[in-house]
Structure 1
Amino acid sequence: MILVSACLCGINCKYNGKNNLNKKILKLLNEGKVLMICPEQIGGLQTPREPCEIVGGTGADVLKGKSKVLSKSGKDCTKEFIKGAYESLKVAKKCNIKKAILKSKSPSCGYGSIYNGNFNGTNINGNGVTAELLSINGILVYNEENFYENHY
């Protein structure tokens, strides 16, 4: 079983109420190989919601209390992002999940590259909060592009 960002499976859980449907990942779902999760919703955020970015660092910094996740208007959503990350990890452990495919660039799910915290579409190297927590707990994390480069 692979833990997957629910938006990649066509679930309307993105900040704007839409999804990021990926047909290759939908095929994995239809084959029964996927467990969907939305860390932001599990953490208590509504859909739709204001876009959020990590300000002053990466997911690693958020987990260490060195940076925050803020909405575009400045609302602090750090607590919800951390809760969603830990709940996602709990699900992964209970289901003995070893791999995850998470939405690129997201402040919770981004792996390898996330938005820079200025809400201008610029990326920086680093992971989102959930991607970081899963990774440091031994789960192999991929995004929707690099999973297929490494597996198919």
Structure 2
Amino acid sequence: MSNSTQKSDPQILVSACLMGKPVRYDGRYASQGSEKLHQLHKQGRIVLLCPEVAGGLPTPRAPAERIANLIQSQTGEDFTNAFTHGAKKALSLCQNHNIKIAILKEGSPSCGSDFIYDGSFTGTKINGAGIVTDLLRANGISVFSEHNIERALDLANI
């Protein structure tokens, strides 16, 4: 009975780097996540994903920034296809698990929800979203950053 209850509980997509997985471009993680996210993960209610790794990019990798619909690395490589592939995998995960809420890493060219870097690799932030966030939002999935975890959990009624 408890297994069927857990499967019907809402799940949330979370950037793997926010849960201590060393998948960022520099081979590190972003944070250890909130205690509430760790509790939900233990309950099987968190689906972890690094869309960049899922899209085929290695860890570590060159830093990348979004310029319009292109993702370019600091070394000049075009990462657009890998980022797009990772975004599609994120959407597929959400659809397969009936996920309506995502908590993704702010500032990332994949996962940023309120800001991204401007493509100049100078640390300049601009209003905008990552490629995964755009795709998820276009498909009715609410995306929040690590700065709005409580708001995301409230919306998910958790």
- One fold, TM greater than 0.5? yes
**Deviation of the 1:20 alpha carbon:** 1.1
| Matched residues, number | 142
Equivalent residue number for residue 5 of structure 2 = none
TM-superposed deviation, 1:151: 4.0
Runs of 4+ more than 6 Å apart: none
> Residue 80 of structure 1 aligns with which residue?
82
TM-score normalised according to structure 1 size: 0.88
Distance 1:23 1:147 in 2: 9
Structure 1 residue matching 2:44: 3-state secondary structure = coil
Residue 16 of structure 1 corresponds to 26
Whether 1:30 and 2:42 are equivalent positions in the alignment is yes
Contact 1:85 / 1:130 at 8 angstroms: preserved in 2? yes
Partner amino acid, structure 1, of 2:23: C
Matched with 1:143 is 145
TM-score for both structures, normalised by structure 2: 0.85
Counterparts of 1:101 and 1:150, CA distance in 2: 7
Structure-2 residue corresponding to 1:117: 119
**Gapped regions of structure 1 (runs ≥ 5):** 63-67
- Closer, same or farther in 2 for the Cα pair 1:150/1:42, shift >3 Å? closer
Q: What is the alpha-carbon distance in structure 1 between the residues aligned to residue 97 and residue 39 of structure 2? A: 20
**Identity across the alignment (%):** 43
Higher deviation after alignment, 15-24 or 88-97 = 15-24
Matched to 2:30, the amino acid is N
- SS where residue 23 of structure 1 aligns? coil
Aligned residue number for residue 43 of structure 1: 55
| Gap regions ≥5 residues in structure 2 | 1-10
Q: Note if 1:54 corresponds to 2:66.
A: yes
Aligned partners of 1:102 and 1:111 also within 8 Å:
yes
CA distance in 1, matches of 2:77, 2:60: 15
C-alpha contact (below 8 Å) 1:9/1:29 kept by paired residues: no
The answer for the alignment partner of 1:65 in structure 2 is none
Q: Cα distance 1:120–1:3, how it changes in 2: closer, same or farther (>3 A)?
A: same
Letter in 2 for 1:50: A
Distance 2:76 2:65 in 1: 10
